[in-house]
Amino acid sequence: MWVYEKRLQYPVRIAKPNAKLASLIVSQLGGPDGELAASQRYLSQRYAMPDNRAAALLTDIGTEELAHLEIVSAILHQLTRDLCLDEIKNSPYAHYFVDHTVGIWPQAASGDAFTSAYFQSKGDPITDLHEDMAAEQKARTTYDNLIRLVDDPDVLDPLRFLRQREIVHYQRFGEALQNVVEKLDSRNHYGINTAFDRC
């Protein structure tokens, strides 16, 4: 169950349209380390968590990732809504425009469509939490790269916020992993999968 709150988690107010930036930032919507993959990764993985604290964390971070999906979508929407045709013709965004006009559709900056192959749900708490920590770092690097390429302060501001959240999530996943490991049989962390080996 989810309840929508009609506001962004962090404000997005971009004055100048910019087709080229949109064609780059779309990767954080539907790219390999984007917010859609992040949200579906955590919300899918939580069912296999034997530790309620880890399950709660995956639910709450997964929910926050949905809010980040909305922030990235708002950035893309505001960068493209008022574009003139000439601005589109002379930019890499033209390739996206052919199929989606200025609608929002999850794809990578490369043009590849979103796919659930971008994330894993392995059904093993230790494996999944390690993936989650790596995912946060990969998303942080992607935001770092975008921040290097963007010079509009209106766009940089929400990108910096999103980058910071990756670091906090990484920290929390690290604590969740530590909690799970501490409750395992200390003689053999990898001898069993606590989500499957029940007898």
Partner 1 sequence: MAEHYNFGRNYGCSDNYDADRRCGERNGDWYEYDYCGRSGNDCTSANYARSCNSTRDCDCDCSNQSRWALLRRIMEEGFAVDEAILFLDVNPCDKQALAFYCEHAQKRRALLAKYRDSYGPLRMDDVNIGRSNWTWADDPMPWTREGNIHVGV
Q: Cβ distance 105 to 30 under 8 Å?
A: yes
Can you tell me which residue has the tokens 């080996």? 197
- Is 199 among the residues that bind partner 1 (CB under 8 A)? yes
Residue 142: Cβ within 10 Å count: 21
Can you tell me which residue has the tokens 């509009």? 152
Q: Cβ distance 136 to 170 under 8 Å?
A: yes
Give the residue with the Cβ less far from partner 1, 12 or 108: 12
- Is 16 among the residues that bind partner 1 (CB under 8 A)? no
Give the residue with the Cβ less far from partner 1, 70 or 94: 70
- Is 169 among the residues that bind partner 1 (CB under 8 A)? yes
- Is 100 among the residues that bind partner 1 (CB under 8 A)? no
Q: Which of 44, 120, 137, 179 binds partner 1 (CB under 8 A)?
A: 179
Helix (H, G, I), strand (E, B) or coil at 113: strand
Q: Cβ distance 32 to 108 under 8 Å?
A: yes
- Is 157 among the residues that bind partner 1 (CB under 8 A)? yes
Among 6-14, 25-33, 92-100, 112-120, which window interacts with partner 1 (CB under 8 A)?
Answer: 6-14
Euclidean distance between the first and the last CA atom of the chain, given in angstroms as a whole number: 32
Can you tell me which residue has the tokens 């029940």? 198
- Is 2 among the residues that bind partner 1 (CB under 8 A)? no
Q: Which of residues 41-60 bind partner 1 (CB under 8 A)?
A: 50, 52-54, 56-57, 60
Q: Cβ distance 191 to 181 under 8 Å?
A: no
Dig out the tokens for 98 from the structure.
Answer: 């052919």
Q: Which of 27, 150, 184, 190 binds partner 1 (CB under 8 A)?
A: 184
Q: Cβ distance 128 to 176 under 8 Å?
A: no
Q: Cβ distance 58 to 43 under 8 Å?
A: yes
Among 35-43, 90-98, 108-116, 191-199, which window interacts with partner 1 (CB under 8 A)?
Answer: 191-199
Q: Which of 64, 65, 124, 132 binds partner 1 (CB under 8 A)?
A: 64
How far does CA 12 lie from the centroid of its chain? 17
- Is 197 among the residues that bind partner 1 (CB under 8 A)? yes
> Binding residues for partner 1, per CB under 8 A?
3-15, 50, 52-54, 56-57, 60-61, 64, 70, 73-74, 77-78, 157, 168-169, 172, 175-176, 179, 183-185, 192, 194, 197-199
